[in-house]
Structure 1
């Protein structure tokens, strides 16, 4: 039956042999079966029955009920799986202790390979971002466009419910609202569209430990890199924070900045030259040393 086939496959994934898995499933539906009977219902050759039964008994998956003739029964699945889980946990803990001891015993400084995972396609990237947000415990930085925020909204809300602070840099139109964090809108480019603005990005840092950087050439062909390398984490976080700095300044000095750098601050982003649109109508003055002395005196 299909459920039996699924269980055979699941047990095989846990390290049971095909014969062991088939015999266990056969015992579940044939209590007190003999080796001959098990061979008939499972298709396992009779010479292999006793060998597989001994291994099942050692795993705690089967018990012998009597010797004349020998009959066998399966351990209830919940008891078997609980025992396997406990055994696995103990072995992992033992391995962790052994690994820690081995590291301490080695005097030289350890360096570990850093991994960059390449992710392609918008659905896969959004799934990865959801997993980063779902695992976050303290703070998440996100820089994205409105359409991406719309797809991430539910996971962001769940994170806020857990007390996670979310700092969002939002491009384009979005209805994103946060209860505990902050939403900063990229207002400097909201009324100006330039060819290079068609390339979209998605940047995320979770708990200062995990990051993702993705780009969509032309707004559709998404590719990204995910990493816990602290160099990349710090770089992406700085990118998001500096974008926020500029937008906080723009929210207070937008007209003056546009009078210098043009709509969308286009000349500000042109780092190939120092061109500006013109002088501002009025610059904010900063008191000099003498002015400060006069004010204090």
Structure 2
């Protein structure tokens, strides 16, 4: 019978020596380390290593003193603790494997999101998953709805950098006020939102059309890389405008209007994405 119990304990992640020591203490305790070795057959050279391992895992308890003595956690409690730990491990495995599977699939897909509220909810999800950096190109209206999630991300140590259209003030983010501000809204005929999380996923789309607003969300590197890099280049331009605005506007017109006109395909020099 004892051999069967030893095998059962091994199935509960006990080594053979740990199982023998625990069963010895169930039979008779408290015992010194010397007594456990003598009664269990565990070599004396190994017994304290074995007892330390059982103590750290919470399977036995130690009574300190001039000569330490050991008692076992009752068998019923041991099984209960193992069951709880196993359930925690299963839950953690289920969650992490599902996330890994989803992440693997998402790397090859581009998802369409319809509706302003739905877009903002997806952005909130992405903010919650970010660990290192969030780049966000946003108007004040949408920033106000995302501010709480962004603040929580900053508290977690995430670097939050915002390219702001309109007056956005924040005590937790690096805010770059776009040099064009509201004039961009007029030129483009609406507001968009672009978010890059950890350089690994992006949400980008139009958010000023209420239920007809639409955006793309993806972890596909073919979108993540260029969208993230375009945002970084916007930051380059704003840094340069901050330091050398007078020189740049002398070459390219106020707010770089001549550059925007140069690369427009429409006679009115406005954008016509939203028709």
The interval holding the TM-score normalised by the smaller chain is 0.5 to 0.7
Within 2, Cα distance between the matches of 1:177 and 1:133?
17
User: 1:264 Cα deviation (Å)?
Assistant: 2.4
Partner of 2:205: 214
2:168 touches 2:175 (CA, 8 Å); kept in 1?
A: no
1:87–1:222: structure 2 CA closer, same or farther, 3 Å change rule? same
Within 2, Cα distance between the matches of 1:194 and 1:158?
29
Aligned residues: 177
Partner of 2:178: 186
Partner of 2:147: 153
Partner of 1:45: none
1:139 touches 1:206 (CA, 8 Å); kept in 2?
A: yes
Within 1, Cα distance between the matches of 2:131 and 2:249?
39
- Does residue 1:120 correspond to 2:114, yes or no? yes
Partner of 1:163: 157
2:157 is paired with a residue of what secondary structure? coil
2:120 touches 2:146 (CA, 8 Å); kept in 1?
A: yes
Within 2, Cα distance between the matches of 1:111 and 1:90?
21
Q: TM-score, normalised by structure 1?
A: 0.51
User: 1:271 Cα deviation (Å)?
Assistant: 3.3
Partner of 2:217: 226
1:200–1:191: structure 2 CA closer, same or farther, 3 Å change rule? closer
Within 2, Cα distance between the matches of 1:156 and 1:209?
17
Within 2, Cα distance between the matches of 1:144 and 1:239?
14
User: 1:220 Cα deviation (Å)?
Assistant: 8.4
Q: Which runs of 5+ in 1 are unaligned?
A: 1-78, 101-109, 274-297
1:121 touches 1:222 (CA, 8 Å); kept in 2?
A: yes
Greater RCO between the two (CA within 8 Å, min separation 6)? 2
1:219–1:252: structure 2 CA closer, same or farther, 3 Å change rule? farther
Partner of 2:90: 89
1:240 is paired with a residue of what secondary structure? helix
2:116 touches 2:209 (CA, 8 Å); kept in 1?
A: no
User: 1:194 Cα deviation (Å)?
Assistant: 7.2
Within 2, Cα distance between the matches of 1:266 and 1:235?
24
1:142 touches 1:204 (CA, 8 Å); kept in 2?
A: yes
- Does residue 1:259 correspond to 2:247, yes or no? no
1:191 touches 1:264 (CA, 8 Å); kept in 2?
A: no
Q: TM-score, normalised by structure 2?
A: 0.55
Within 2, Cα distance between the matches of 1:192 and 1:113?
36
1:183–1:204: structure 2 CA closer, same or farther, 3 Å change rule? same
1:192 touches 1:263 (CA, 8 Å); kept in 2?
A: no
1:92–1:208: structure 2 CA closer, same or farther, 3 Å change rule? same
Counterpart selection for 1:236 from 212, 217, 227: 227
Partner of 1:201: 192
Following superposition of structure 1 onto structure 2, how do residues 11-26 of structure 1 map, counting pairs within 5 Å? none
User: 1:243 Cα deviation (Å)?
Assistant: 0.6
2:213 is paired with a residue of what secondary structure? strand
1:258 touches 1:264 (CA, 8 Å); kept in 2?
A: yes
1:200 touches 1:216 (CA, 8 Å); kept in 2?
A: yes
